[in-house]
Amino acid sequence: INAEYWAAIFACMDLADRTGVRLPIMISGTITDASGRTLSGQTTEAFYTSIRHSGMISVGLNCALGAEQMRPYLERLSQIGECYVSCYPNAGLPNAMGEYDQNPRQMAKAVEDFMESGFVNLIGGCCGTTPDHITAIAEVAAKYKPRPKGQRSTSFVLSGLERMLFSKETMTFMNIGERCNVAGSLKFKRLVKENKWEEACAIAREQVETGAQIIDLNFDDGLLDGPYIMTKFCNLISCDPDICKVPFCVDSSKFPIIEAGLKCLQGKCIVNSISLKGGEDEFREQAKKVMRYGAAVVVMAFDENGQAAEAQAKIDILKRSYKILTEECGFPGEDVIFDPNILTIATGLEEHNNYALNFIEATKVLKTDLPLCKVSGGLSNLSFSFRGLEEIRQAMHSVFLYYAIKEGMDMGIVNAGALPPYTDIKKELLVLCEDAILNRHDKATENLTAYAEEVRAKLQSKKDGGASAVAEAEWRSGTVDERLCHSLVKGITTFIIEDTEEARSNIEKYPKTLNVIEGPLMAGMSVVGELFGAGKMFLPQVIKSARVMKKAVAYLLPFMEKEKEEALAKGIVQASTAGTVVLATVKGDVHDIGKNIVGVVLGCNNYKVVDLGVMVSAEKIWAAAREEKADIIGLSGLITPSLDEMVHNAKEMKRLGFNVPLLIGGATTSKMHTAVKIAPHYPHGVVHVLDASKSVVVVSQLLADEGKKEFLEEIAEINEELRDEHTAGQKERKYLTLEQARAKKLNIDFVAVPPAPKPTFLGEKTLMDYSLAKCVEKIDWNPFFAVWQIRGKYPNRGYPKLFNDETVGVEAKRLFDEAQAMLKDIVDNKLLQARGLLGFYPANAVGDDIEVYADDTRSKVTHTFYGLRQQAGKDGDDPHLCLSDFIAPKESGIPDYIGLFAVSAGFGVEELCAKYEKDHDDFNSIMVKALADRLAEAFAECLHEEIRQNYWGYQPEESLEASALLRQQYQGIRPAPGYPSQPDHLEKVTMWDLAKIEEHTTVDGKGASLTESYAINPAASTCALVFAHRNSKYFAVGKVTKEQVSDYASRRSMDIATTERNIGNILGYDP
């Protein structure tokens, strides 16, 4: 079905809703060829399903084919059509001259079969027919009775290019593919943010191939342009018949994003979702819009009071929704899909234990009382407590579906290719999953968690060769700080009292009882936060850790009270870090597991926690904060609209004169969003808290007598840096037009000054264990001292003169000696590994870009490096440079080449730092990272030298001192993407794809990879393009105008908004 049909149907239905005038609609489609599909690729059945919602009085086929060729498709349409059926074929197929040969008698005879077979109600003619043809057809039609009008079916039908009929006889369960969801798939989210649309589409295609019958599409992310991304992706997948043959589920918590998808997708989709959360009026409005688009709808178990957790509450809300939909809005009952909310079980909180069973029980009642409805749900929430253990998670999903499908569950958002058959699950795990899901006994959660811990321990033991088991047995021999930390991380209460007493008794180290809480106990909770954030701990374990903390604090409280009384008797008012924290899940959001854990952890640390619950309006939050005299307010949310609500809350806090710090948390939140969208609206401290355990550290710093000001200043600086990264402030400057700048390019005479000779090889070369000793010799020490903020004064600013500085010289030398000792240990014992890759490729310039070719024939372009040109006005005749200026133009016919490399000295840094951090040795941890960074840069210096002298060999006799190298007194340049000569980090993606850098550098699953922000992982890494021409030089692109940004975006086939985000730091205008 094409856009015109959709628009016409939507307009007619919209008119009817607004005026009450219902226009009769007749629809006719065209089967274009013998494949039996419309021009847009739909089968006859799919075409009918797409337009069925219009309430048309007739549907039919016309044009393109003659009557004989049209018959099978008309027959099928007659079988499924619930309205009248029409047909007006051509007078046969066109001849070689484009004319039609069937005369009136012949055509009448051809269509007589349609009437005799009872296929049609209306009959006529299209191309090649004349009034005589119609007269002949009418004479034949008089002999037959019209086709009886079809009866409306209550079957649940969807369509993409093909029709999907759901019935329990043919399909027991519909798999909705979950991986095209930025909230549920980090890989898909990364691909979308990097504009890797082909790879993103491949994820959709793979889901169809592995059994997904419907594809879920979700682009809810605070820093994504949801409507644009939804439109872009839907348009792409609509062109791929292997994907769009199945129906789509357009999934968003923002209705404009849903509409953006519905406008692009042909076929009958599912909308996920609407609910009574915003009230009945909004619910009716959204439901009517969904009807106009002809989609089925998912209804969530929310109402004005929040999310339903108990079975009866789910049933009541959904029955109320169904009544409004079917009786007031005229929504077909068979197109209503209930999602009674699959919530997380086995969290360690008793009230969560029945959540799975509540869903199953609600499903049974709904399917019995409302037999036309369907029931769906998202499986990933169920097992969220066991992040990182896919075997357990998928087993839980399979068991849940086994019981839920028995009670009527029809569909679910699942990873179809990952689910194990119920009968294939190991017996022990099967029993544990069933016990937890069906809440068979009080120990179900504890038993499943214990099993999960055993699985994790086995995986860890395999990883470290069994060392963890030995460490487990020896943990009691550690220091009291180590023992307390171990008990907190492992959730062990057995020794917590005696270890807490041992720490309290150490008056020299802990003069006040409170110091034990602030010291080793809080340090242990910080470790818990790190592990949970990394997915190495589960929610039940965090709750157990909080329980251990609570026992320790309870033991210490009498001692603290006694110290307080003694201090008061002496007239001393003891300071305390304890305070009041008001927590709330913001209006419009009902997710509270993370917030609840924050409350538990803070409560265990002697803070008064006022938890306002979920769906809390700004007015309620401020009223409670004033009544409780809150010291801190914490806002939580999971769904994307919560981000907007948090912005509103921040604005209101400022307007109402609040001056207490604001904490932001929840799965959808981020440091970047907090800094860019929230912090600017509230001047008294906005802190993003990654997880529950980190909240203790943050709250203690915000309420401490000492250090609070510095902490807030640090947070403000971090937020400012993030904002600067997101969008740079612009100043007025004079710019050349892009045409003018290109006219003033650097014009190298490549005949008189030819390119460097051909490299010694083409393709890639990998260096898997490069000599660290060689790198040490090339280290530039000045950035090292900058990390430690050791700065001398003229004339002793730089290394090695720094050692002579009166103020910092002694400390600088001591730091240098410690660095040398660690370097020796790293090199001698191979504690770090350096890996790298270099490559050379045929290349030529095309305008501002550089084409890379498959081979020296230069007949096939494999990749393109895109360039940006200087536009800011210059004095005199200085050229306006672009990197492409240093490569011979394609039209010159002169062969040229480009090189690249990526190097890392960061393999092993993580493990080495973990060793130091385990001993709370921050100094050596920072030292390792600082030295690894220096080694990576030195590796780049070494490799570039070897490229010049050997691998490319254009300077074989070069002999430069280290100081000359640092001053870049060599031929050629090595600019890095994201730096001044090409400020777009996206060029790294081209490098990684061209040279397969991650694959070539991977050992034991770890290689040099790119993050979603195009940073290289490990952090101690760098990369560059290599230009060899003697006239090439480093330069800064500087600020550019929107004209060039638009041109650059067009060359990249990228939208301007995304391009502006990628190169925001060089925009010479406010986007």
Catalytic residues, which ones? 589, 591, 642
Sort strands 833-846 and 896-907 into parallel, antiparallel or unpaired: antiparallel
> Quick count: other Cβ atoms within 10 Å of Cβ 357?
16
Within 10 angstroms of residue 1042's Cβ, the number of other Cβ atoms is 15
DSSP bridge partners of 327: none
CA–CA gap between residue 128 and residue 95 (Å, rounded): 11
Task: Check: CB of residue 180 under 8 Å from CB of residue 240.
Answer: no
In angstroms, rounded to a whole number, what is the distance separating the alpha carbons of residues 787 and 791? 10
Torsion of CA 248, 253, 257, 258, to 10 degrees: 40
Range list of β-strands (E), 574-716: 580-585, 608-611, 632-636, 662-665, 686-688
Q: How far is CA 601 from CA 247, 544, 597, in A?
A: 45, 10, 6
Burial of 780 (0-12, 13-18, 19+ CB in 10 A): middle
Confirm if 279 and 287 have CB atoms less than 8 A apart. Answer: no
Q: Which residues of 911-941 are buried (b: 16+ CB within 10 A; e: fewer)?
A: ebbeebeeeeeeebbebbbbbbbbbbbbbbb
Distance of alpha carbon 805 from alpha carbon 823, whole angstroms: 24
Preceding peptide of 1018 cis, ω within 30°: yes
- The Cα 845–Cα 886 span in angstroms is 8
* Cα 513 to Cα 507: distance, rounded to the nearest angstrom: 9
Residue 682 burial (C-beta neighbours within 10 Å; 0-12, 13-18, 19+): buried
Distances (CA, A) of 852 to 41, 844, 889: 37, 7, 12
* Residue 137 contacts residue 107 (beta carbons within 8 Å): yes
Interior angle at CA 96, CA 95 and CA 98, nearest 5: 65
Strands (DSSP E) contained in 731-832 are 763-770
For 964, residues 6+ apart whose C-beta sits below 8 A from its C-beta are 970
Determine phi and psi for 437, rounding to 5 degrees.
-70, -40
> What is the number of other CB atoms lying within 10 angstroms of the CB of residue 70?
26
Helix (H/G/I), strand (E/B), else coil: 94? strand
Q: 652 near 622, Cβ under 8 Å?
A: yes
Q: How far is CA 658 from CA 629, 632, 649, 655, in A?
A: 11, 10, 11, 8
User: Which tokens in the block code for residue 654?
Assistant: 């400022």
Q: For residue 740, give both structure tokens.
A: 């003018």
**Radius of gyration from C-alpha coordinates of the chain:** 34
**Sheet with 632-636, side-by-side order of all strands:** 608-611, 580-585, 632-636, 662-665, 686-688
The whole-angstrom distance between residue 56's C-alpha and the CA centroid of its chain comes to 41
Paired residues of 38 in beta bridges: 31
How many other β-carbons are positioned within 10 Å of the β-carbon of residue 794?
Answer: 8
- Diameter over CA atoms, the chain: 119
The letter for the amino acid at 948 is: R
